[in-house]
Homo-oligomer: A and B are copies of this chain.
């Protein structure tokens, strides 16, 4: 198994789609969970243990409000954890962003951008880690980048009319 995708709440599944779609399109294997650092702390232990057994390479955790989820997972494993802050509270995701990136020295948690674009980038970042030992995946990433460039070129051509 390559990636674990953990949502802090059922209501975060919508944003997690951005992540899933990219993992799917890169044919990366993943498993999805809902777990709350506060409402189901034991669930976290269970997920982390399973992740270690399944030799997961990256754990992506999406979470809003005081987003402790990524940090609490990171505290229990050496698997790299990528946190996606969500703007589900009134504070636009600033609470969530700071709760994720401002981890004290010793236990890192990689912060992505707030919301949908962060969810997308978490998937890409995980794929970049996987691609370090998988040339095919790396080629797909290069193809994905080319696609992005091509879309921009096309948009420029449309402008000329």
A residues within 8 Å of B by Cβ? Answer: 8-10, 18, 32-43, 57, 64-66, 68, 71-72, 74-76, 78-80, 82, 87, 89-118, 120-122, 124-125, 128-129, 131-133, 138, 141-142, 144-145, 148-149, 151-153, 155-156, 159
Q: How many copies of this chain sit in the oligomeric assembly?
A: 8
Chain B, residue nearest A119 (CB): B105
By a CB distance below 8 angstroms, the chain B residues around A36 are 104, 148, 152
The listed residue (B43, B89, B112) touching A115 by CB distance below 8 A is B89
B133 touches A133 (CB 8 A): yes
The listed residue (B78, B97, B101, B118) touching A141 by CB distance below 8 A is B78
